[in-house]
Structure 1
Amino acid sequence: MCRSSSHDAPKRSVAGWIFLSFSTRPRCPDPAHDSADRGAREVDGLRRAQFGTSAHVACDRRHLRRHHQCLRIRDQYGRLAMKRIHVVSLSPRMGTTLMKEVVGVCFEIDAYSRRERRVFSEPPSGADIYLSKAPEDIMTVGPILWAQPDLHVICMVRDPRDVITSMHGKDPDRYWAGLKFWNAYLPYWRKIRDHPRFTTIKYEDFVRDPDATQRCLSTKMPFLERNVPFSKYHEVARPSQYSRDALGSVRPIRPTSVGRWRDHRSRVAGQLDLHGPITEDLVSVGYEDDGSWRQELKGVQPDRGRSHHSEYFSRTDLWIRRSMGYVGALIVLVRRMGVEPLRLVDWIPRRWIPSQI
């Protein structure tokens, strides 16, 4: 930061002092700029650095351009503001837990959540790179990507037929989730899939060639530093008990679960009866070329048994999920001004607040 001497600090308007009091102003990485600009006249107004920082520059006009260049270089490598990586998906059981655990140990990550944390939840202090995950935030991250320029999103996509036939360690006697999540989340993915800080990873590609997925993430997020290859994750893994329940065990990443829906065709047929056809979605996402796969369900007795999650969203639940994107964006914007908004709502009954904020 190019700062003025404390003995001859320039005059600011009241609004300027208030705004600067809520801002984080990093030091310029070039010491020559700092010494050259010390005591210089402050630039009128606030200049916002590029690459997603909320840094405000106060330095002499002569050095403003060079100062911004330094800020941009530092930001490219994530040194000025905390980079947040958030993992979402189009349904539970799409590999978000595995992706979070793999990224957390195979890249240089300063802090990551052991359990699910919403994208607008308060991050830990003192971390350059923070990793979190919440599958349902696919409905939320669109507005927050605009409000939080240091946010990068990894979205896991998996064949929904394998998803609805997957089970969880917490309830091994029932299928975990039905097609309600896929049907509700897919439109949101289509809206934001081309965002430059939104990376879609197919679960099938990830488990078949984990190192190629790691290279893809390194390209999309160049501030990441690799510790070990994804293919050696099982040698260094240290998952929490919460993650172990979802993963089942720590083992090498293999495509053993790809296409397993063919062993549970009655479940697939039952879900299609309850939620309608998905052939068009499968073709658009690249899992099928046409509807011929339905021939494999001919003569199969549909299984309409209950899943762990309810089969349908209530209208209230859907409204809350859709609204949280804008609420979350507001929370992020307020937090960037130095205020933690979630601490200001302690008087609100907890049952009114969405879980895992």
Structure 2
Amino acid sequence: MSISRVPGADNLYVGGIWILNLESWRSKLYEYNITHVLSVIKFSFENWGEEAKRFRHMSIDIDDVADSDILVHFSSAVRFIDGGLYPPPAHGAGPGDVSAGTADATSPGAVFVHCAMGKSRSVSCVVAYLLYKYPHRFGGKPPTSSPVSAAQRHKTAKDAVQNALKWVRQARSLAEPNDGFMHQLELWWEMGCPADDDSAVERHPVYQKWLYGNVLKEARYLNVAPDAEDIRFEDEVKWGSEGSEGSEKQHDGKEVRCKKCRRMLATPGFVVPHTPVGQLDTPGCAHIFVDTLSWMRPALEGGALEGRLSCPNPKCGATVGRFAWQGLECSCREWVAPAFSLNRGRVDQVTSRRADAPAIRLPPGRNGSL
């Protein structure tokens, strides 16, 4: 199956590279009035001579493997596709990393998105476009409706991506992005499909946290602690980035404090749920897991794979838990990795005076005691 038209009113096509490499199939580009070609594979029109001037072209050089970062390219890919389907009134170069041809930018165009087989990489970009352009088809809301929270987007991400893929499969049954790309499409939906500019994904806190997760996975694979400069302290991220996903976590409003001195260790937004899925840990668990927080810095930056966590109050210093970059098993048998565990017998959970309190860092000049 060389080329397939994606269902809907758009002149959007997806397929494999054969249509470009075999002259006997190249006529399809003209038959379908293709004006823009998005290559989600290394490809160049340099040997096409004058014929290349017919098209606007963008190439994303990426391998079809689960750990390839296709997510960072979605903003530019979506903008390129949309610019091809709905060209701006003024003639000029298209968005993204585009080689300008002589396609008429004032008339409606048709876009061909391809990779090697038209199965994974190209389909991922087409699905990303559909989720961006038509969210209401796949369980989202139209752009004119009220904003949707990150928590709601996270909850609906898997179904939205599956529904968009089913839409493409109506025309291309072999469409099947690899598991890593499917997860990245879910993150794209969770972010709200940001495409204001080509670097919109790169700036997004959800993407940055996902990248950090990849750093931690690599460290676990190598059985080493992450480098000190790579450690991400979530309260510092929140403190310096208003509107990060941490502010939208929904918890029961309980702070975690040192049992001995009452020093606050974590506000509700930094408690990590681990069982049952989507809820806080059950009272029977011996551990309360939290995000990586700046008061842990002395323990974590030494390069140890695991160790003790001590109360940051210099007048206390009591052992309040432990950390393990490789992860640890809770008493409820849930495995958490990496693990920053506060021992329930050494801390108290108390109702927060501000249930939505986002952080435990304090401004300069405060000693951190409560």
TM-score range, shorter chain: under 0.3
TM-score, with length taken from structure 2: 0.23
TM-score, with length taken from structure 1: 0.24
Higher relative contact order, chain-length normalized (CA < 8 Å, sep 6+): 1
Normalized per residue, which structure has more helix? 1
